[in-house]
Amino acid sequence: MKTESPNGNSLLAPIMFLPFFFIACCIVPSSADKPSYYIPPDTFAVDCSPSVAPHDAGFPYDQKYEIDFSSVSRVYAVDPSSSEKPRISACIFRKQVTWPFIVSDGPNFIRLYFKLVAYSGLNISKALFSINVGPYTLITTSESSYSKYSPNSDYAIREFCVSMDGQVLNVTFTPSSKVFGAYAFINKIEIVSMPSKLYIQEDAPFSLVGQPTHYFMGNSTALEMIYRMNIGGDVISDLEDTCMFRRWTRDDDYFMSNDGNTSIVESEVEVNSSLLVPSYAAPLQVYTSARTILQTTESKYRATWLCPVDHVAGSVRKEVNRRKNDDLSIMIDGQRCSGFDISDPTPGVEFSEIMAPTGR
């Protein structure tokens, strides 16, 4: 949980106060005429470590971006969290630098990796910067971003989905001009193409937490991944994903088990694709485990997940209610979420990804 949850992710400065919605990757529609896999046309990786072999990075990227070290410097630190690779390196930007990536049309995952350790000659409190992709401001740090600085933590990973019209995806690092000696830094970047309708479907509305209205997203909405959980199941690594290198965490840390009567079910499921949700939306493991609320003589039980989202806004509390002879309904902060139906043959709850609009 420490590694990829935004929870342990102290680099995170508030970006914007924005409504939350959640995306259930768990619709199991019929008709299997769509391909069951997705091959991203572009997979880039930039690693600030010197000469990392592809298998080292764990990410089987096609294209390695060569860093121009005339405008970027590399710094080193001792990595207290890894005895295997005790030395860690980062790219440091002391003025505005843009890295252009040539990508295909359509949306991309952009994953930014930050390792908060004491780099030699640098004070982390001066790591004050923003990162933009085209017109979107993905990250803006401030001194409070480092208040929970822990030198033993693993990479803080921030993941975004951004759609570009053109074929150049410019990633721009801008150190703060207000603080003398401010710098920007990054350890790794991954850019992976994603299917155009994975999250944003222009004709499908999302429910907003705490508001009766629905929310329609256009192609120009940038998203940030807040949580990606395999409910009731195990960690799913990037290499087990359907070729988009996403990672799922367990839900144990967020599940409030004491106020419900729930259990985990494992089942064999057949994930059928549809026009709206292709079967590569998530790997099969996401569907096979679920939590159920047991049928009891009591009229009502509920299951609750509490997902802090400190760097965006407040928290998301997801509740699932089961009344006797009633369907499961998903609620966030007491509001029923009905953006998508869950028609999984498993009688349980399988929300998967919580995303927030971001960036402007």
Binding positions for ligand NAG, rule: CB under 6 A: 28, 30, 32, 98, 100, 106, 123, 125, 134, 166, 168, 170, 196, 202, 218-219, 261, 270, 272, 294, 296, 345
Beta bridge partners of 307: 316
Strand order in the sheet with 73-78: 73-78, 87-93, 184-186
Smallest distance from ligand NAG to CB 345, Å:
6
Nearer Cβ to ligand NAG, position 270 or 326?
270
Q: Is 56 helix (H, G, I), strand (E, B) or coil?
A: helix
All residues at 6 or more sequence positions from 209 whose CB lies less than 8 Å from its CB, including other chains:
19, 20, 21, 316, 332, 333, 335, 337
Token pair in block for residue 16: 């914007």
Smallest distance from ligand NAG to CB 54, Å:
27
Nearer Cβ to ligand NAG, position 29 or 308?
29
Smallest distance from ligand NAG to CB 56, Å:
29
Instruction: Calculate ∠ Cα 37-39-45, nearest 5°.
Output: 135
Smallest distance from ligand NAG to CB 21, Å:
18
Beta bridge partners of 78: 87
- CA 58 → CA 16, 90, 239, 245, distances in Å? 32, 18, 8, 10
Nearer Cβ to ligand NAG, position 5 or 262?
262
Token pair in block for residue 55: 């298998």
Smallest distance from ligand NAG to CB 166, Å:
4
Smallest distance from ligand NAG to CB 294, Å:
5
Nearer Cβ to ligand NAG, position 63 or 170?
170
Token pair in block for residue 334: 């007491």
Nearest to 244 by CA among 197, 191, 295: 191
Local structure of residue 236 (DSSP, 8 states) = B
Nearer Cβ to ligand NAG, position 82 or 123?
123
| Max Cα distance, the chain (Å) | 71
Q: How far apart are CA 24 and CA 19, in angstroms?
A: 16
Nearer Cβ to ligand NAG, position 123 or 267?
123
Nearer Cβ to ligand NAG, position 143 or 266?
143
Distance of CA 204 to the CA centre of its chain: 21
Smallest distance from ligand NAG to CB 6, Å:
25
